[in-house]
């Protein structure tokens, strides 16, 4: 039976790829992949597998999302096993929901294969737990880059006043706006922050600071990167286990 597998590739470390993802990648007739998926994953594919790159970078969208949806659909008419490989998890700012709806509306069978999301795994590789007893019992994951065509900002900044951990994905280019907004709503400028670049990989780099100085400290950090705000960042000094 023909099927499209919307598959999470995990945060970067290939060993964090799930067993189910490995299984369908080895069976795939075609893999449609993005920039954040570890390229070594493609080496698992069988001989003859077609590869289609639809990666995006900030300010350099190679293929618009509407066209990606159509590519997946057209390839599903051509091949039995289509793997759409997406960095992290397809349903955490991966636009997997949009791709799934597009297929559903056209009568195409699909399956979601969750991936290890960078929102918890990347902080973990930096020795930062997103929750910790006595410090915070909740965390939220926020896009650091809303699409320009939204028209209205959907981020409720006033709700960020609590002491929960905040993880911003894809936010490095907007880090000045993010820190300014958090200070503006009343967060202390001494609130601990971390920026983690290329998390879970051999190129991982971590910078820590506060809302007051993290913009300056992270000036030369490469992307992809995530931002973590909260008291749990202080635990990094004791829990920093990942040695490159």
Positions marked catalytic: 34, 56, 170
Secondary structure of 4-55 as H, E, C letters: EEEEECECCCHHHCCHHHHHHHHHCCEEEECCCCCHHHHHHCCCCCEEEECC
> What tokens were used for 118?
């960078």
How far is 12 from 180, CA to CA, in rounded Å?
30
Alpha helices in the chain (DSSP H): 19-27, 65-78, 96-104, 118-125, 175-184, 214-217, 236-239
Alpha-carbon Rg of the chain, whole angstroms?
Answer: 19
Short-list 101, 77, 80, CA closest to 24 = 80
> What tokens were used for 168?
């911003």
């Amino acid at each position: 039976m023909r099927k499209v597998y919307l598959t999470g590739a995990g945060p970067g470390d290939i060993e964090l790829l799930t067993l189910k993802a490995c299984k369908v990648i080895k069976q795939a007739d075609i893999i449609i992949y993005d920039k954040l998926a570890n390229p070594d994953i493609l080496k698992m594919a069988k001989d003859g597998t077609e590869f289609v790159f639809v990666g995006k970078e900030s300010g350099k969208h190679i293929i618009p999302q509407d066209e990606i949806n159509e590519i997946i659909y057209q390839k599903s008419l051509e091949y039995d096993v289509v793997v759409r490989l997406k960095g992290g998890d397809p349903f955490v700012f991966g636009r997997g929901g949009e791709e799934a709806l597009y297929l559903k509306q056209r009568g195409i069978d699909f399956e979601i294969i969750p991936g290890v999301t960078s929102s918890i795994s990347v902080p973990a590789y930096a020795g930062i737990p997103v929750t910790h007893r006595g410090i915070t019992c909740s965390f939220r994951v926020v896009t650091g880059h809303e699409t320009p065509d939204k028209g209205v900002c959907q981020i409720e900044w006033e709700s960020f006043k609590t002491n929960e951990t905040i993880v911003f994905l894809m936010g490095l280019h907007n880090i000045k706006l993010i820190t300014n907004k958090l200070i503006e709503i009343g967060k202390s400028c001494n609130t601990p922050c971390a920026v983690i670049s290329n998390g879970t990989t051999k190129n991982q780099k971590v910078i820590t600071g506060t809302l007051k100085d993290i913009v300056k400290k992270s000036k030369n950090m490469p992307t992809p990167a995530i931002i973590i705000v909260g008291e749990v960042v202080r635990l990094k000094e004791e829990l920093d286990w990942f040695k490159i």
